[in-house]
Amino acid sequence: MGVDDAPDLREALKTVAVALKRAGVPFALMGGYAAWARGGPEPDHDVDFLVADEDADLVAQHLADEGLDVVQPPEDWLFKVYADGAMVDIIHGPVGGAVHRAEVRRATPMDVLSVEMPVLEATELLVHKLNALDEHYCDLAKVLPVTRALREQVDWDRVGRETAGNDFAVTVLFLLRRLDIISG
């Protein structure tokens, strides 16, 4: 598939965000596009939204009722939505267990591509990103540019506390300090 044939992730982001707003449940943009909205590099794979675990079934049904293609993969912590061929992950249980509404409600409203939507704060984004690192996914070429771009917006002490149980995250934080990207 050539660049011109690639699904339009930005349009998918807007389409699903507007549909989520109509669902009337708390949601937040997370992942690469949330980092992008806060000044990070633009992702090229998918769009991620966060919903509370208790709202996941309702959200999936609402998105299907809106005419979007909703797919339940084998993983039990997300479902996928396709908008004109572009993949959007609706995450309700990332690393660390079920998501609660209070976590989703901590997101701050931002204008993203002319649509106002809640976006996870930079600290929360980095906690999720670093806690997702493991022996199967440890691509620092994707992690370092995001951490560098968001570094002034992040409570690094909180990131350290909330990722202390993940040796990959601890190693990334060590590397960030060693490269003088963050202090401490």
pTM of the model: 0.92
Place of tokens 């609402």: 62
Interatomic CA distance for residues 76 and 21, integer angstroms: 23
Query: How many CB atoms neighbour CB 152 within 10 A?
Result: 8
Segment 110-115 long-range contacts (CB within 8 Å, at least 24 positions apart): 110/29, 110/37, 110/38, 112/13, 112/17, 112/29, 112/33, 112/37, 113/10, 113/13, 113/14, 114/14, 115/14, 115/17, 115/18
| Alpha-carbon dihedral sign for residues 142, 110, 158, 55 | negative
The predicted model gives 46-55 an average pLDDT of 96
Mean pLDDT over the full length of the chain? 93
* Predicted pLDDT of residue 5: 59
146 alpha-carbon distance from chain centroid: 12
Read off the pLDDT of residues 53-108 as tens digits, 9 standing for 90 and up. Answer: 999 999 999 999 999 999 999 999 999 999 989 999 999 987 668 899 999 999 99
CATH number of the domain at 1-120, out of 2.40.30.110, 3.30.70.270, 3.30.460.40, 3.40.50.620?
A: 3.30.460.40
Residue 6: pLDDT band by 50, 70, 90 thresholds?
Answer: low
DSSP annotation of 91 reads E
Task: Give the residue extent of every domain in the chain.
Answer: 1-120, 121-184
